[in-house]
Structures are given as C-alpha cells and as structure tokens.
Amino acid sequence: MTDHQDPAQTPSPGDGQPADAHGPAGNHPPADDLAARLTALEEQVSSLVAALGTEPGTAARAPDLADPLPGDTSAGAQPTSGSARGSTGAQPTAGGVDPFWALNGLKDTLGDLGGVVFAGYLRKPDGRRADWQYGRTAAHIEAADFADSAAALAALASPVRLALIQAVYDGAHSVADLVESGDFGTTGQIYHHVNQLAAAGWLESPRRGRWTVPVERIIPLLTIILATQG
C-alpha cells in the first residue's frame, strides 16, 4: 500500500506520495526530551485536525504499547487522530495547513533518530471508533527480523481471505452472513478461512457466532492494504 514525487513539487493534501528519504538533518534530541516532543506533536496534530474541520472525538484505545521495546526509544502506540503521508519540501496550502504536517512533525520530533509512524482514526456505522498511532525508531526497525511477520502476512495472502475480511469489516459478522453472500465457498471453507485469520489476530469472536476485526487491528490492516495499492 507506487508513484514517485519530485520533492521540489508541492503535492496536494490528498496525494499519497512516498517521502524522500533524505530530508534535512536535525539535531539528535536527548532521550528524556522525546516524550515531551511527542506530546507537543500530538497537540499540533489536534490543532491541524481542528483546522481541517474534523472532529476526532474520544478514542477506543488500543493495547498499551507505551513502553518501548528493547533498543527502541519511540513512544509506542498511542490513541490519536489523523494520518501521515507525504514528501519533503512541502509548503502550506492556501488554507495554511502543511499537507505533510505529520511527516514534518515526525522529523522535528525525532531529528537524526529517524523512524516510521502510521496512524488513523475511523468511525464505523456500528458505533465502534478506532483511533490508533504506532511508531518505531529506525534503530528498532533495523534490528527487527522481517521474517517474524510471515504468519500475520500469510493469513492475508489469499484473495478469498482478503475479500472475507473486507466483508466482515463492512458488517457481515456471522458465518451465516458470509455463506449467504455466496462468495466464500462452503460453510466448512469459510470456517477454515475465519480460523486462519483469527489465529493471526486479524479477526476475533467477541461472542459465540459473531466475528469482527479487532478495533486495535483496523488501522494496521488498512495501512497494509493502502500500502500495497500505492
């Protein structure tokens, strides 16, 4: 979830262009300053969201990942609003909002540390609210074993399962609903797919016979989908 953007051009706020990896160098902030800087960034994000005329509301909190993993000095996962996309060198739009406020704010916060953050907020018709932010520094990412993600990604590596999880995301919450659609095979085949997705954490059963995408997995799932679509 790829087009390439000339950093000298000013993209529009809706463009999802990849960032130039060589932004201006910043100072390496002391570790004890990061929490304060991230708090300031969240306040800036809230102001920008208000300027855009959106109303994020109260988050349905994700699991607490505020304690960084070994070798990581990022802030972990925090409820927030907004989502990051961008390139370097962007200028404020006519409305005064930098279309790459999240990227530029991240650079201001982390400086030479570098890092990756994904975030988003959604309000589902069933009343669920997903506000999610997750970030890790470059040092943590470089120390990670990409193969550890194989099982979670393999569960999604099927057109049928992707269509099935989209159906659940859109409101088909029971196997009967999925069978009725006629798109996912027999009842036995559907149970097999559902169980594989549940084993990888992409589905959960809050009560017998009902399936849903866990609220803390909605933004990560959509991030994967969007990242593969450019």
* DSSP SS3 for 135: strand
What are the boundaries of each domain within the chain? Answer: 31-144, 147-228
- pLDDT tens sequence across 201-226: 999 999 898 999 999 999 999 999 99
- pLDDT tens sequence across 145-167: 999 999 999 999 999 999 999 99
- pLDDT tens sequence across 72-123: 333 333 333 333 333 344 455 556 788 888 899 999 988 888 999 999 999 9
What's the topology of domain 147-228?
Arc Repressor Mutant, subunit A (1.10.10)
DSSP codes joined into one string, 164-226: HHHHHHTT--SHHHHHHHTSS--HHHHHHHHHHHHHTTS-EEEETTEEE--HHHHHHHHHHHH
Check residue 152 and give its pLDDT: 95
* Cα–Cα separations (whole angstroms), residue 224 to 1, 130, 173: 6, 16, 22
For 85, the token pair is: 């996309």
- pLDDT tens sequence across 7-45: 333 333 334 433 443 444 445 556 556 666 666 666 655
Q: In this structure, what DSSP letter does residue 111 have?
A: G
pTM for this entry: 0.60
Residue 201 · residue 193 · CB < 8 Å: no
Q: Which of 150, 75, 60 is nearest to 117 (CA)?
A: 75
